[in-house]
């Protein structure tokens, strides 16, 4: 009886070879990304660190460097010479003048005369050690904390991020509120700016132009919706008033009037209400249904019950009946 065939190396090596190639590609990409990140950090580090005395690239003349004071002159000096030349060597017998190798244009001559006046009778202190000053620390000393904070210089603040991302709600609902905060929802005003077909008036009230703030807080239909929804949990006093024109401002004010689990539950309820209004608005536009206040309030109540069963702890703290008006 012939022995049963055994797997040959020819059947195993190709898959192993492909796996090794994939691993090699992953490691190459990892090292490339790491090298790129290190170069970026090194560049940033050099920009933030000021050396009072080192070489011609550093800030040493009244807090400025040659590139700031005489940029055209610096271009006429070989880069290799700039990197290797120290202040002491450059000032010794005004040898920096001999480093100028490029064309003597009018701009170079102007920068030369300006730099000559600045360096005339300029003396170094050879007995004083070089000092490095970290710009983003009050003491001038480098720290990991100050380096980390410097990465956020020029960043913008996004006020409602805690209310959006820390609130219990399905991810799609929180993402919708993020779009609302950035005014990126496709309401009539945004469609009109791009020349796209859009409803002439708000599809819920048919009285004013549609914007995301009008749709979620200013519309008369919306204000009634919030009143009936919040009345179900005894918080109808926080419903938007005619003076409220910004959804984010009203949400911040309403959330600030509560605390603890009540605040968490209210935030979840507001996300739920905004999501319900948006879906109702879309059904009115795309399916041609008539706005129905009672139907949308009932739908929001049923959805609240589903969220409560799914684990929205804050909503369970709102102990008033789920339905009723």
Helix (H) or strand (E) holding 133, with range, is strand 132-134
In whole angstroms, what is the distance from residue 187 CA to residue 194 CA?
Answer: 11
Q: What is the C-alpha separation between 319 and 298, in angstroms, rounded?
A: 17
**pLDDT mean over 299-303:** 93
Q: In sequence order, which residues have a C-beta less than 8 Å from that of residue 50 and are 6 or more positions away? A: 58, 59, 63, 132, 133, 135
Q: Is 268 exposed, middle or buried (0-12, 13-18, 19+ CB in 10 A)?
A: buried
**pLDDT at site 185:** 95
Greater confidence (185 vs 157) lies with 185
Per residue in 182-234, pLDDT tens? 999 999 999 999 999 999 999 999 999 999 999 999 999 999 999 999 999 99
Between the CA atoms of 312, 313, 316 and 322, what dihedral angle is there, to the nearest 10 degrees?
A: -10
H or E segment at 174? Answer: helix 171-181
Report yes or no: 73 and 115 within 8 Å, Cβ to Cβ: yes
Nearest CA-CA partner of 306 in 282, 261, 272:
272
Q: Does pTM surpass 0.75?
A: no
The pLDDT score that the predictor gives to residue 13 is 43
- Predicted confidence (pLDDT) per residue in 225-284, tens digit: 999 999 999 999 999 999 999 999 999 999 999 999 999 999 999 999 999 999 999 999
Q: What mean pLDDT is predicted for residues 121-130?
A: 68
Please tell me the predicted confidence (pLDDT) of residue 11: 43
What is the Cα–Cα distance from 122 to 70, expressed in whole angstroms?
A: 17
CA nearest 178: which of 159, 193, 203, 161? 161
Lowest average pLDDT, out of 40-44, 70-74, 294-298, goes to 40-44
Map tokens 């002439």 to a residue. Answer: 200
- Which structure tokens are listed for 246? 């910004």
pLDDT confidence of residue 231: 93
Q: What share of the chain is helix, strand, coil (3-state, %, to 5)?
A: 60, 5, 40
């Amino acid at each position: 009886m012939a022995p049963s065939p055994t797997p040959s190396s020819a059947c195993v090596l190709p898959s192993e070879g492909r796996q090794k190639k994939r691993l090699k590609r992953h490691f190459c990409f990892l090292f490339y990304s790491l090298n790129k990140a290190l170069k970026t950090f090194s560049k940033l580090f050099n920009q933030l660190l000021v050396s009072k005395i080192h070489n011609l690239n550093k800030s040493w003349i009244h807090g400025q460097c040659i590139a700031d004071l005489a940029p055209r002159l610096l271009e006429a000096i070989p880069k290799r010479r700039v990197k290797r030349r120290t202040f002491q060597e450059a000032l010794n017998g005004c040898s920096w003048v001999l480093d100028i190798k490029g064309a003597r244009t009018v701009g170079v001559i102007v920068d030369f005369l300006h730099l000559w006046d600045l360096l005339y009778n300029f003396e170094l202190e050879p007995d004083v050690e070089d000092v490095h000053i970290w710009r983003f620390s009050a003491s001038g000393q480098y720290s990991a904390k100050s380096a980390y904070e410097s990465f956020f210089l020029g960043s913008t603040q996004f006020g409602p991020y805690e209310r959006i991302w820390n609130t219990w709600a399905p991810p799609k609902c929180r993402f919708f509120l993020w779009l609302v905060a950035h005014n990126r929802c496709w309401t009539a005003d945004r469609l009109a700016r791009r020349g796209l077909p859009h409803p002439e008036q708000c599809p819920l009230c048919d009285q004013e132009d549609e914007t995301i703030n009008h749709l979620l807080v200013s519309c008369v239909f919306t204000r009634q919706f919030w009143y009936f929804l919040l009345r179900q949990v005894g918080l109808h006093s926080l419903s938007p008033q005619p003076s409220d024109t910004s959804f984010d401002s009203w949400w911040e004010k309403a959330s600030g009037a509560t605390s603890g689990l009540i605040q968490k539950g209210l935030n979840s309820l507001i996300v739920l209400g905004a999501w319900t209004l948006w879906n109702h608005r879309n059904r009115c536009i795309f399916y041609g249904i008539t706005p129905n206040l009672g139907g949308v309030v009932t739908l929001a109540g049923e959805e609240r019950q589903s969220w409560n069963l799914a684990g929205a702890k804050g909503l369970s703290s709102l102990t008033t009946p789920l339905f009723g008006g």
